[in-house]
């Protein structure tokens, strides 16, 4: 089963519409066709890849705004006229994600070491 333009449109509709019915109606295919595609291994694989690519693009967009987000949090944190709860939440958010970043770096380093050990066996 080749991945046609219609199937790609259906994939897009699946991630933008609230349910399968609205997705297949949007691309003008039948219920039977939609579920035939959804049960097809090749379609499932292509759809999984499609969602991964969408998430990569979304993540890249989010990451492009991280510097601005940290700037806003920092401004709120030091603004003595900001409500106390907003300042505390900014501090909490900055610290929480800083710690998470270190944890992720530590985990990545441990995984790298384990992979090296496994390769060298």
Whole-number Å distance between alpha carbons of 102 and 49: 29
Higher pLDDT among residues 1 and 36, named by residue: 36
Whole-number Å distance between alpha carbons of 7 and 117: 43
% of the chain residues with pLDDT over 90: 93
Whole-number Å distance between alpha carbons of 94 and 78: 12
Residue 52 CA to its chain's centroid (Å): 8
H and E: helices and strands count for the chain: 6, 0
Whole-structure pTM value: 0.64
Q: What is the pLDDT of residues 59-117, one digit of tens each?
A: 999 999 999 999 999 999 999 999 999 999 999 999 999 999 999 999 999 999 999 98
Confidence band for 2, pLDDT divided at 50, 70 and 90: confident
Q: 93: number of CA atoms within 13 Å, CB side?
A: 16
3-state DSSP call for residue 62?
Answer: helix
């Amino acid at each position: 089963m080749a991945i046609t333009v219609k199937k790609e449109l259906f994939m897009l509709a699946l991630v933008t519409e609230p349910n399968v019915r609205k997705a297949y109606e949007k691309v003008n295919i039948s219920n039977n066709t939609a579920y035939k595609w959804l049960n097809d291994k090749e379609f499932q694989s292509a759809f999984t890849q499609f969602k991964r690519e969408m998430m990569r693009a979304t993540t890249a967009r989010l990451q492009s705004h991280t510097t601005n987000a940290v700037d806003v949090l920092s401004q709120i944190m030091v603004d003595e006229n900001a409500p106390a709860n907003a300042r505390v939440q900014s501090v909490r958010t900055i610290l929480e994600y800083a710690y998470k970043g270190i944890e992720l770096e530590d985990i990545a380093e441990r995984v790298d070491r384990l992979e090296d050990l496994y390769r060298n066996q």
